[in-house]
A and B are shown apart, each in its own frame.
Chain A
């Protein structure tokens, strides 16, 4: 009798859970988008010229964890580039095989994923990780094991540098770094927003946020502005009322919040409810389809590109991406993953041999015309390229201006 009662309760519980599970709408699109992407290389292979051998490229993307849209977009951008190359016959006559791993925007899983693809799958090339705090530890491993790593979007300056401040031989990035991004943000606040006072909010445990906040603080002060307060929080916080009460009390003209969209959504929403009217200023971590436009409206952020940019490279890429992925608009993460992958494959082509040392040398010499701008590397393995400023409004993220280095 008792067993029946337990069984009955289990049935009720499973019904309740399946009711919840019946509608996992937005996330369900992600795996669905993956399926055609995985099938297309096979279809392309039949039509493409004959290839001999395989060239494995690992893609480390945070498909789960706090910032899943970053992972999905990075994966889709990288896979699109690989498909296009395979359709043209691969690279050096070899078919490119992508190996996608979930690195969760977190150091431990990212390091595990990197070790797995290097030791088990024997890859020589990694596209990823997305988040600086995860790609910095991965870059140590990649450099030590002579694996070329190109991070599409890790903007922290330390990522490409070793402890002596010299560039790591095998480590590159496809985006500008935070020294440039933070500086432009500070100039924008001073000159365009005409702000004299700023408040900085940061997560001390996040290399990306901390790096940007430091650069912004230094440049804003150097430009004649005053930082009226700096407050830190942790990534797990949901209640920002104590910090925001202090922001309201300090009454700054601009609030710098260079964090990812999940935190931005929470902070800006609570700020509006606390009557904070100063515009929020952020960085490329804001770029997500999950950014809460209503909450963040009135804010600005520095970014790598805008899908509204009229350049033909941008418009062609946006069109192809929409056709391939169910009409999704590529954000900066997809664009940079696409650029990073193309850059890597151009490097392999220029080197003429599947050898990571030769490819790393070739990469330092080429100039590549990407969707996010022209890329050539300086001595620190940082690309020299323009920056876009975007404005958040109720109806979407709008193109504001382009700043050249």
Chain B
């Protein structure tokens, strides 16, 4: 880390010693937990991974939008909420996940499930993308040349609008507590006795961990989207335009790049990921409310800052760290502490390394 001369820098060692002590304490607690019960520790790490990969999907939207317009889009967490609600309406009200069975009778069950679920997910992603582009055009674009604080406050306003508009009875009325899943969550136990499907009402054998299908789906979906995004940004023409617009908007415009279109595209892609995350989150933790996006949104934002806002691999790494921090705090310290730990991480990042793990001091950001 480069040394910076600033007032009070001479006393900076107090802070550093404190952080070092904190880090050691955390390591000791984790080490003892691992030694005491390795199976439980592994289970908690897996729980954290599931959460982390969901956060990664949301964090991508924060980081991409920041990379290109230097705006922290606080409404992003609420786009995530809209994604979950779209899937609720599609599944519980319109039975959209069953259309292949109605259209092609005799289709095998697994294919119906696959096609139906994909349709619902794609619908959620599309509606979220449209919503985000609308927000961008209506709320952010007129403020593009205004001071950045104006756009930031507008973003908070849009976020509140979505939360409280969504809470109105005629929009998303509050009674969505039993969220209906489009497919059932199946759990497998993995242990010394091999892999077995867990039947409801049956106990988990000793020394075995449980893995559910939604965990695998979240993991695969998140990795797939990361890879797709890397390909999009690095290997395609629109990706090149995104990088150019992020680097220098006026010059990019002079080169014939439709910067407004590129910005809208960025918002749409980020929102589509948030929509996907919303659907997966609601399936994994089946309860939806119009305020469900606030905390996951904030934690994904911390993940993006931790990884280095503007950096795509940073979002993944940051999110995985956040997921672990949350699961392990809940597992080994106390559950109500986990949000406190999340925000402490944000403060520590700002103090120690404001540009995050993968952040570049200045210059190109993808």
| A residues neighboring B (CB under 8 Å) | 5-6, 9-10, 12-13, 16-17, 19-21, 23-28, 31, 64-66, 68-69, 204, 231-234, 236-239, 241-243, 245-246, 248-249, 261-262, 265-266, 269-270, 272-275, 277, 290, 292, 298
Contacts and interface: CB of A to CB of B under 8 A. Distances in A.
B295 A236 contact: yes
Contacts of A270: 285
A277 B331 contact: no
B133 to A, nearest CB: 7
20 contacts: A6-B138, A9-B138, A13-B134, A16-B127, A16-B130, A23-B94, A24-B172, A25-B93, A26-B173, A27-B175, A239-B47, A239-B284, A242-B330, A242-B335, A248-B204, A249-B37, A262-B177, A262-B287, A265-B177, A290-B178
A96 B70 CA distance: 60
Contacts of A12: 130, 134
B185 interface: yes
Given A16-B131, A245-B44, A262-B287, 18 more contacts: A5-B137, A9-B138, A24-B170, A24-B171, A24-B173, A25-B93, A27-B175, A64-B169, A64-B174, A231-B335, A232-B335, A234-B335, A236-B295, A243-B335, A262-B177, A265-B177, A275-B210, A277-B203
Interface in B273-332: 281, 284-287, 289, 292, 295, 326-327, 330-331
In this complex, the member of A5, A26, A238 whose beta carbon has the largest number of chain B beta carbons within 10 angstroms is A238
In this complex, the member of B130, B167, B170 whose beta carbon has the largest number of chain A beta carbons within 10 angstroms is B170
Interface stretch (B97-105, B114-122, B194-202, B220-228): B194-202
A121 to B, nearest CB: 23
A169 B173 CA distance: 39
A68 B51 CA distance: 29
A20 B169 contact: no
B154 interface: no
Interface of B: 37, 39-40, 43-44, 47, 50-51, 85-86, 89, 93-94, 127, 130-131, 133-134, 137-138, 167, 169-175, 177-178, 185, 187, 189, 198, 200-204, 210, 212, 281, 284-287, 289, 292, 295, 326-327, 330-331, 334-336, 339
Contacts of B133: 9
In this complex, the member of A24, A241, A261 whose beta carbon has the largest number of chain B beta carbons within 10 angstroms is A241
By secondary structure, the A interface counts as: helix
A234 B336 contact: yes
A25 B187 CA distance: 32
A246 B133 CA distance: 43
Given A242-B331, A242-B335, A262-B287, A292 B178 contact: yes
Contacts of A69: 175
A25 B85 CA distance: 14
Contact of B130 (A13, A245, A292): A13
B291 to A, nearest CB: 8
A239 B292 CA distance: 12
In this complex, the member of B173, B331, B335 whose beta carbon has the largest number of chain A beta carbons within 10 angstroms is B335
B175 A20 contact: no
A68 B174 contact: yes
A27 B93 CA distance: 13
A266 B336 contact: no
B169 A266 contact: no
B335 A275 contact: no
